[in-house]
Structure 1
Amino acid sequence: RCWVHAERNLLGYVRKNDRREIITDFKAIRQAENLQATKERLAAFSAKWESSYKRRIKNLVQMEDLFTFFSFPTAIRQTIYSTNLIESFNKSLKKMVRRKEQFPNEGALDRFIMTQVMEYNDKF
C-alpha cells in the first residue's frame, strides 16, 4: 500500500474534529529528509495518537512497505510515494488491450504491451 492509500484509509476511521491535525502529522512523516527521521516521526505520531486510535495506529506502524520509496533518490521520491500513476497506467493499458480484442499469440500481446510502455516512458 502506498502513502496516499494509507492516508485515505486512516482518515476513514478518524473523527472529523481530529482529521486536520492527524493528517498534518501524518504528512510530516512522509516529508522527512531520510529514513531514520521518518521512523522517528512515525514513533512520535504513534505516541501522540495511539490513545485515541490504537488499532489504526498499530496497523500503520506494522506496514513495513510504507518506507520503500526511501530506497530511491530524493529527486524522484515525490512521484513514487503514491501508486496512483501506476494504477492509472495499468487502467489505460487494460483499456487498450480490450480495444484490440484478440492477439494471435502471447508474444504479440507482449510486444503490444511493451510498445505501450515505451510510448508512456517517452511522454514522461
Structure 2
Amino acid sequence: KVIYRSSTQEAALTQFQVFQEKWAKKYPREVASWEEDLPVLLTFLSYPSAIHSVIYTTNWIERTNKEIRKRLRPMNSLSSLKAAEKIVYLTIQGLQERWSTRKLKGFATAHTALQDKFKQKYGV
C-alpha cells in the first residue's frame, strides 16, 4: 500500500527498496517479479494524482467478474460455448451502458492535465 500510495515515482521506488530489503529473502521470486515489472506497475504515477486510485484499482474488473458469475450461476448448463460467450457479451454490454453515464472520481479535476498529456504524446 505504501508503494501505491506514493505521490511520485521516485517516492514509490524508495518505498519499493524498503519493501525489497524486508521481503526479498523470504519471497525472492515474488520480489523479483515486482522488480522486473515495476516500471509498468507504476505507470499510473505519471498521471494526475487525482485519478491514481481509479487507475490502479481492480474494483471494476472484480465487479465485472462478479456480474458475469451472477448471470451464469443460475444456469445449470449451457448449450454451447457460443451461448456462454453471448451471456458474457450481453452482461458486459449492460455494464458498459450503466457505467458510461458515471463520472469517475477525480477526472474532472484532472481533465486539463490529461489533455496536455494527450497533446504531448500524440501532437494533437
| Interval containing the TM-score (normalised by the shorter chain) | 0.5 to 0.7
Query: C-alpha distance in 2, partners of 1:105/1:85?
Result: 28
What is aligned with 1:45? 15
* Residues paired across the two proteins, number: 92
User: Structure 2 stretches of 5 or more lacking a match?
Assistant: 100-124
Residue 77 of structure 2 corresponds to residue 95 of structure 1 = no
What is aligned with 2:106? none
Query: C-alpha distance in 1, partners of 2:19/2:95?
Result: 41
Output the TM-score relative to the length of structure 2: 0.53
Greater helix percent: which structure? 1
Aligned partner of 1:62: which letter?
E
Query: C-alpha distance in 1, partners of 2:75/2:17?
Result: 53
Aligned partner of 1:118: which letter?
Q
SS, match of residue 67 in structure 2: helix
Query: C-alpha distance in 2, partners of 1:41/1:109?
Result: 45
CA separation of 1:111 and 1:80: change in aligned 2, threshold 3 A: same
Alignment RMSD (CA, Å): 3.3
- Superposed displacement of residue 117, structure 1: 0.3
Query: C-alpha distance in 2, partners of 1:50/1:102?
Result: 47
CA separation of 1:81 and 1:49: change in aligned 2, threshold 3 A: closer
Q: Which deviations, in whole Å up to 9, do the C-alpha atoms of 1:32-80 show, x marking residues without a partner?
A: 3xxxxx1x223332456666x2538x82851614225468x65865323
What is aligned with 2:53? 78
User: Structure 1 stretches of 5 or more lacking a match?
Assistant: 1-6, 8-22, 33-37
Query: C-alpha distance in 2, partners of 1:101/1:91?
Result: 17
- Out of 86-95 and 112-121, give the one that drifted further: 86-95
SS, match of residue 73 in structure 2: helix
- Equivalent of residue 118 in structure 1, options 87, 90, 93: 93
What is aligned with 1:18? none
Query: C-alpha distance in 2, partners of 1:110/1:50?
Result: 42
CA separation of 1:123 and 1:54: change in aligned 2, threshold 3 A: same
The percent identity for this pair of structures is 20
